[in-house]
Each structure stands twice: as C-alpha cells, then as structure tokens.
Structure 1
Amino acid sequence: MIVKLAAMIVLGLGMQSCSTNYLNKYNRKPAKTSRTNSAATKGKPAKIVAIDKNTFRFHLSFNDVWNTALDVLLENYNLTIVDRRSGVITTEWDSFFLDGKVYRNKVSLRVKKLNYSMVDVTIHNSVESLQNVGHGGIASAWLPYPKNAEEMGRIVHNMAINLGQPKPVLPREMIATYGDQKATSSQ
C-alpha cells in the first residue's frame, strides 16, 4: 500500500511539472514557411472551416495540408502510423496532468483530397482519464473522457498558422480555454 502511494505521488509530481509544458506547447507563433496559397497572395484568403464535429475543409492543396499536418503533429506527438497513400496519421498515447488529474490522448487524422485545391481533414481525438476504481485488485483504470474537441481545434488552428491562413472558423466547443478565459473565435 505504501509503495503504491509513493508511486502515485512520484507520478503526480512528475506529471504536474509537465502540465505547464503541455499547455505551453500550444503557444505558437506563425512559422516562417515558404508555403503560400495563390488565393491568399491575391488578397482572397483561403478559409478553413468545420464541416462537422470531426471534419475540416481546407481550400488548399493536398501536399500543403499533408505536410503541415505532419509538422504540427510531429511537434507535439510521437507518430505510429504515417501513410500518405491513405492520408492517415496516428499518434501514440500522450499522457498529461491537468487540474489535479492524469489524462492521456491519442490523435488519428485523415487527409482526403477532394480536388486539386480542396481537402477534408478528419480528426479523432481519443481522451481517457486515470480513475480510481476501488477495490478488487484493480487500483485504477483508464476510462473514456468526453471532453476532446479542444485538442482538435488546437491542431486545426496550428495548421492554419503554419499555412499562413486566417484563423479558422471553429465551433465554440473546439475553442481552447486558457486559464479562466475563452479564446476568441473568428465567427
């Protein structure tokens, strides 16, 4: 019992120091990139919009969106699957400590070409929280956590920054909170 308690304290202290770094990984500045969009250079900025709760439409080329998705995910995650032919990218589980709890998430993303200048990006973010489930031999287990939309919004927002695009139009539940303040949307 004492060994389990000591392990949980060590895990908690280690994860607590990671929470600030976890949140800071999203404080991004526009990347210096050579990617440009012909629409943006003509004064007509391309838009990135949410089609449904998991799908976003990019009015850009497949190559630009694919490369940017890889850049954004590689900056924050370890990748397990990268298949350009199918357009699929999958990450490993990423654990973090936030608001006194331990969470983990795993992102799967698919880039699907619609035509030469339009693609849909579908993102699934599986989030679980570490919960004590009581006695009976199992001390804790990873259980599904329903709040997962903010990470998808962060990924799309960071992709827009890397692509030199205006802030994407996102549903309210996908707009990241920072402390007690809600980030503003472009709606």
Structure 2
Amino acid sequence: MFRLSLFVCVIACCIVARPSSADVHRLQEGDVAPDWMMTDIEGHNYSLYQELDSGRQVVMVFWSTWCKFCKVMLPEMNLFKQSLDDDTRIFALNIWESGDPVAYFDTRNIDIPLMLRADDIADRYKIDSTPGLVFIGTDKRIRYIRSSRENLSDTMRHLQLLVIKDRAKHASNSGG
C-alpha cells in the first residue's frame, strides 16, 4: 500500500511540475511578435503594433548597464539608426537593471527611445541574456532574434541586410 501511495504522489508531482506548452514555446523567427505599450524617458508613448501598422520595422534591444556587450552594442545601434530612414525604429528596452541607464545614455549621447523596467516585455519575448535583440517586420512577424553566440559585427550585418531587403521589397511593391 505504501508503494502505491508513493507512486501516486510521484506521478502527481510530475504532472503538477510539468510546464505548460505556453511556457515551453520559445519565440522563433516567423512567429507573430507580442504587442506592447510603453512610455520612454522623454514621456513619449509607443505601441509596437502602432509602429508596425505605420509601416515601420522595429528593432528591440534588451540591455543593462552592467552588460559589457551592451555597452559596445548600443553606440553601434545609435550609429546604425543615423543611417536609417523613418521606416525603421530602434527601441532600447532596459532590463534587470541595478545601475543608472538614463545617465549611461546621457553621457554617450545615445539618441534611441529608452524604456525603463521592460522586464515584462523581456519575459514575453523569452529574452534570457543581454544584449537581446529582436527585429520585427511590418507584417508583425519576428524576422530575426540575435543568438547569444553571435558577435556584434555579425549582428549588425544581419540587421543591415534585413533593412535593405525590406527597402527593396517596399520599392518593388510601390512600383519604384
């Protein structure tokens, strides 16, 4: 009888501890991006879907001041932003923070909308390391997720190709 009770307890624990399929599913390229709404440090309100519905692609950079790779990537993203037209928007989503992200942006003259305490969005996108980067096309589909093994030059090259492809696609669709 004791073995049967123990067996039932073990099975019950396994069933309760088993994660749901929603918890297991990692967002992948091709998935529809979850929407979000946030206010940046300047007081401007942004909605992911509103940006996409306006014909803009979106790059989300998940970062923290303590992340040495983020400190290299953000200035590069700022330079990249200067080469873009209004068809692509870059957002810096600060997560898991212990420092002063506003001071970091101010001292480096980074001109990208900065959202603080974006941990909930990072959770929805299953971001598990910094810098996290997600590129979303105007069709609301995730077109690129940066791998933690990918170096900065590969990431930037990938983003540039995506932007160029989108511009070419947009030009051919508009007859230009």
- What's the TM-score once normalised by structure 2's chain length? 0.29
Structure with higher RCO (Cα < 8 A, 6+ apart): 2
- What's the TM-score once normalised by structure 1's chain length? 0.27
Larger radius of gyration: 2
Structure with a larger share of its residues in strand: 1
